[in-house]
Structure 1
Amino acid sequence: MKKFIAIVVAIVAFVPFYSCDKEETSTEHYLILKFKFDPTQARLNNLGQPTAVPVGHAAQSPVFNTISSHYVEMAPNANTQLGQGTVLYHAPETTAGGTTAIDFSQAKIVAQDEVFLKIPLKQVTAGTYQWMRVSLSYQNYGITVRHSGADYQGTLASFVGFNTYITNHSIGNTFFTVNGNRSQGYWAFALNDFPYSSSGQAPAGATTVPNPLAATSPIPAGSCVVTGQFAVPLQISGNESKDVVVTLSLSTNHSFEWIDSTPDGKYEPSAGETVVDMGLRGLLPTYVK
């Protein structure tokens, strides 16, 4: 009996060490992507150069609620063509609307600092990456609207992807039924405290998509692949001992732009002022290893 008890004690004493050892060897590390919205970041044009609001236009820096992306890629250098880098994410698409489009019903929509993407680092191609490319597809943010001399707060849903199939979408308790494809620049708006809503379409080709690599690695017209450079290249070995967290800081600096026909710097749809640009104004990727 004493011998039996001694054996049991020995087994019990061994189990915790065995369990800990097993847990340590099975630890998984991840590449994690998050978004950040910065109204103080540089306001860039399509070539990635600083730009001001054009004469005759006005703009405001919206207060972002959420965002979604259609495509994420890391590029080793400035000559890496779109699609030839390491593709981290490609959202579901559909032909339900006739032509290929982003399937909005399956879009992953996140707020600032929420995890958008989390993949095992062992699935990421090892290498050194200088650039991030992010194809943005959906934005939801607060803006100020003027009507009859008074300012009101509202929420705008902005679809900036190349083409999006939408059955329906909502802003608070306001629902919009579409049941079709909408090209880049479709938007819908609802006042926060009053029963008013509207929708429209920005002009084709008017959405700003900053790409500092336009000369060496262009993007297709109508896409929303915003490109940004790491201050220090990101190195992935596949043998990292901790997670790698990449933050994609997007410039919201006067990113909501309209024709200011009044002109007073106030967005006033009832005076015939129309939206012309809802593109993000730059990307600054950073990482923590």
Structure 2
Amino acid sequence: MRETASMGGCSPSAGGQGVVDHSLNMDPFNLRAEELALHDCALGVEVRRTWSETELVRSFGGRMPPGTPDGMFESWDGNLTSVQVVRVPLVSGSDNAAMQHTLAQTILSKVVKSQTWLRFTATAPHEFIIFCWLPFQVADAVRHHVEILMERVRLLDRRFSARLRLPAEPQAIFPAHFACNHDFVMSKSRGLSESDISTFECDEDEETCEWDITWDWTGDSADAVASQPDEATTCDASRTCHMLRSNAAAPAAQCACRYALTWDDNG
């Protein structure tokens, strides 16, 4: 699916400039990781315009659902690409099974949160890249495990892809003692599986996108649901896809579903 309209209130940068100058995490290691990742994703693409992370937040009424991309760019042929960058907390000396588990949980967490952002904002990118920086080289078996995982993920939502990259200078993006508390953080986090991913279907011929959403909103968002008609709890994707293409100046609050979201954002 191609998107050519301005992203409802954004102030995109032309030609791919200034994306990482406006990150929500201004840590220098993180900024460098985002800069290198976005450059990698844009290689070979004729970039028409770009959006930084903070521009994407401002575009939708200043709300910040989990999964806001670290950057997004549009090519001259109209394709939108969203990028979520993560430095994978692999621990040196771990066996392949432990590394496979860490990578799988990291990627699934980013996919689930990114789907939340996509639903909340009614954005329809052509591709959503989960860009994973590795602190050191991993075995082929670990990479193959990720490939198999993403094949299954893409059966549910084909927009998502994952890239594993080893930086030329790992110390430039991985500070000393990175992931030193990873085991403790993991022990406090809920494990994810592919069943946590919502099914997304898009018929390119009819340009109609449909979400199969199975979230249980009866807990934290009960009051929000009670105050709205039932049909307002899911996005009419056909309508929102049209609104994105229409270059309308309507406020973002009219283009997105409203949810009362709570999230344990450890990753």
TM-score tier by shorter-chain length is: under 0.3
- The structure with the larger Rg is 1
Normalised TM-score (structure 1): 0.23
TM-score, with structure 2 as normaliser: 0.24
